[in-house]
Amino acid sequence: MELRDRIKGISLLAALGVVLYTMENFIPSPLPWLRLGLSNIAILLGLYLYGLKGGLWVFLFKLFLGSLFSGRLFSPFFFFTLGGGGVSLFIMWSAWKLFSPPLSIVGVSILGGVSHNITQLFIAYLLFPYSQLFILTPIFTLLGLVTGSIIGIISLMVLNKMEGVCIRGG
């Protein structure tokens, strides 16, 4: 029974992540890499409700299906998402495990957003070894701070609404 609930919940979150990831491409943005990262709500919820494995499943589904639907599977963009998402998932999980009582889901999300952006900067550096790229670090940190807070607050609201209502399996 419990396993079934778990699979059900993770699948729902994965579907949510894929839809958010795909829909977000339709929002016009001044720069192609400047995105809110709405699909990270699903990953954050997967992490909080079903642990590291849950977050990882949601992330992988979002990554492969979302990239497939938006037509950039295995493109350079895909590897940016892979690296940034993987590192930020691990950072969020560690922050949640180590500092969770004082740090709320908002703080965890901020760390995730910032580490996501910094990792992408590193990947960009690996692709184009031009070290003046790191001048962008403060801008990327600030962007991660803003988007991470927004994502964290939305996730917190969702968690509060969900409390004891539905798919808590884990």
Partner 1 sequence: MREKGRYSPLRFIKYFTWADLLLSLILLSSSLLFPFFFKRPGKGEEVVVETRGGDTYSLSLSKDTTLWVGGPLGKTEVKVERGSAFIAYSPCPQKICMKMGKIRRKGEMVVCVPNGVLVRITGRGELDGVTR
Q: Which residues bind partner 1 (CB under 8 A)?
A: 99, 102-104, 106-107, 110-111, 114, 131-132, 134-135, 137-139, 141-142, 144-145, 149, 152-153, 156
Helix-then-strand count for the chain, H and E = 5, 0
Cβ proximity to partner 1: between 58 and 118 the closer is 118
Residue 40 CA to residue 63 CA, distance in Å, equals 11
Residue 18 CB, shortest distance to partner 1, in Å, is 27
Of 10 and 143, nearer to partner 1 (C-beta) is 143
Closest contact distance (angstroms) between CB of 104 and partner 1 is: 5
What string of DSSP letters covers 99-151? HTTTS-HHHHHHHHHHHHHHHHHHHHHHHS--GGGGGGHHHHHHHHHHHHHHH
Which CB, 36 or 110, lies closer to partner 1? 110
Q: How far apart (Å, rounded) are the C-alpha atoms in residues 3 and 7?
A: 6
**Which region holds residue 28: left if phi is over 0, alpha if psi is between -120 and 50, else beta?**
beta
Look-up of token digits 């809110």:
36
The distance of closest approach from Cβ of residue 88 to partner 1 in the complex, given in angstroms and rounded to an integer, is 14
Contact 121, 136 (CB under 8 A): yes
Least CB distance from residue 169 to partner 1, whole Å? 25
Q: Minimum CB separation from partner 1 for residue 161, in Å?
A: 14
* Residue placing its CB nearer to partner 1 in the complex, 54 or 113: 113
Q: Which is nearer to partner 1, 17 or 152 (CB)?
A: 152
